Amino acid sequence: MKLSTYLSLGLVALVLGVLIVFQFRVTRHIEQGIPAGRAQELALELRQLEKDKSKLEAEANDLSLKLEQVTRGQTEAEKALKDELAKARLLAGLVPVTGPGIEVTLDNPPQQAGGRGPVSLYAIRDEDLLRVINELRGAGAEALSINGQRIVAHTEIRWAAPFINVNLTRVVPPYHILAIGKPDNLKSALEIPGGLVEYLQDLGVQVKIQPYDRLTIPGYSRTTEFHYAKPVVKG
């Protein structure tokens, strides 16, 4: 009985001893799982990674700012180009315009009373229309038209008896010339003593000038092509 008791106690003590030793070794292994030198290396690598991350974030922010500036610059450049194109089309007479101005109506001499023919045999010619256009341009007209035909840099006004062609379009009297500009200046330029209106009336032409606070002139509608004229390349 005593022997079995001693054996049982010894077996229990042996098991406890083995468990204690095993626990001690596991604990020590955990404590020494990462060498001190390696831990320092990992800490240094972590700090370096954090620095690299901060640097990359700064570069990303910088690139985002530059991209935003480029995008904004492209938008502004596109708007500037559109504004320049609109200005060029306006100067070229390709778009309708509206503003204050005058209407000049020219008609051939009237018939005599009793149907005995016109008071004058004179008929309005292309040079008469050109004189009016040039006088109005000199007085500051910013846009001009004759019977709905916009006058631009390459507009032709030429006699094609018994008609007058404007922009290759036949126009007949009465001729309605619209001019946008300061009405008083435009009207005064034509009505000065000894001026163009007086000259035309002496020939028997009927002349009427009507100022307007607002009138509309159409844009040039024909297609313009340059087959021979080329821009000069500076070099």
| Of residues 117, 119, 124, the one with CA closest to residue 200 | 124
Q: What is the pLDDT of residues 120-170, one digit of tens each?
A: 788 999 999 999 999 999 999 999 999 999 999 989 999 988 889 999 999
Long-range contacts of 146-150 (CB under 8 A, 24+ apart): 146/171, 146/175, 146/176, 146/177, 147/171, 147/175, 147/176, 148/218, 150/93, 150/217, 150/218, 150/219, 150/220, 150/221
Helices (H), 32-172: 36-92, 126-138
Give residue-wise pLDDT tens across range 44-96.
777 777 777 788 788 778 888 888 887 887 788 888 888 888 888 888 899 99
Residue with the bigger pLDDT between 12 and 80: it is 80
Reading phi first (left if > 0) and then psi (alpha if -120 to 50, else beta), residue 206 is in beta
- Structure confidence at residue 30 (pLDDT): 46
Per-residue tokens: 20: 């204690």
**204 near 120, Cβ under 8 Å?**
yes
114/106 Cα distance (integer angstroms): 23
CA–CA dist 180, 105 (Å, integer): 15
**pLDDT at position 180, please?**
98
Q: Please tell me the distance from the alpha carbon of residue 138 to that of residue 134, in angstroms, as a whole number.
A: 6
Comparing 30-34, 93-97, 224-228, the range with the smallest average pLDDT is: 30-34
Which pair of tokens denotes residue 181? 């500009």
